[in-house]
Amino acid sequence: MNALPVASTIDQTFSRTRAAGQMAFMPFITAGDPDMATTVELIELLAGCGVDLIEIGFPYSDPIADGPVIQSSYTRALAKRLHVSDIFAGIAELTGRNTSLPPLVAMVSYAIIFRIGSTEFVRQAKAAGFSGVIVPDLPADEAEEMSKQCQAAGLNLVELIAPTTTKARTAKILETSKGFLYCISVAGVTGARTDLPAELQEQLAWLKSQTTLPLAVGFGVSRPEQVAGLKGLADGVIVGSAIVRHVGRISEENCPKAEAFGAIRELATAMVQATRGV
């Protein structure tokens, strides 16, 4: 008899929030902006705010769908000659001494993975303490091998669904995505927006009828009041640019780190409360 698959830490997180009738909150940050020491501090700050997962972007010179705020953070990190090995070393040091962190999910271009080799990248990601990997430029048609490698290592390969994704392509994505589905709210790049599109509710309702995977909405979510409109449709919300912008002030505006971190703590706490229905 085949053994049942072991629930990942991401699976466990969404099971917990779903059972409580809540949504999960996942902030995005850029590794190495302004340096890895600050990234490590920021992860611990966010964990202390009660976030459910943390998405960590691996800087890349030609990002696929990132808006100007995240692009600028990647540029700043790369200008300091940040390497993937620096990211893995910083995360490994952190997870080695702090075992109470929420699941960490890497957002990384396949070009980076290809250069290292997918087997070796997955091995290093698992050893560093990551729970999942999001590869925005890996087509669903070519994701099966990477998904199996991640599963064998105890990682989740999380895939993205866009408003323009066809139903046939969605079926292919559902075959290999694990942990949760990253649901892009708009046809465009990342960045804070005033309102989320009305069509998003229809898209999420249809996806709910197709899969039991948790649905996490990103791209454009930036404020606690946007969470209410996703209640009952999404299982999680992802906020990136609104947080990365505050980190950028440290380098671009000579903002004291304590001030930037204070603004991030306030936003993260408000988002956690909103996803809890407070």
Which DSSP string do the residues of 249-260 spell out, in sequence order? HHHHS---HHHH
- Stretch 51-79: mean pLDDT, rounded? 88
Q: What does the domain layout of the chain look like in residue ranges? A: 18-271
By C-alpha distance, which of 70, 72, 95 is closest to 9? 95
State how far the Cα of 55 lies from the Cα of 53, in Å rounded to an integer.
7
Query: Which residues are identified as catalytic?
Result: 55, 66
Concatenated DSSP letters of 175-187: HH--S-EEEE-SS
- Stretch 56-66: mean pLDDT, rounded? 81
Q: What band does 98 get if pLDDT is binned at 50, 70 and 90?
A: very high
Q: What band does 192 get if pLDDT is binned at 50, 70 and 90?
A: very low
pTM, entire model: 0.93
Q: What band does 193 get if pLDDT is binned at 50, 70 and 90?
A: very low
What phi and psi, each to the nearest 5 degrees, are found at residue 161?
Answer: -120, 125
Burial of 227 (0-12, 13-18, 19+ CB in 10 A): buried
Burial of 180 (0-12, 13-18, 19+ CB in 10 A): buried
Give yes or no for a contact between 178 and 151, defined as CB atoms under 8 angstroms apart: yes
CATH 3.20.20.70 fits 18-271, yes or no: yes
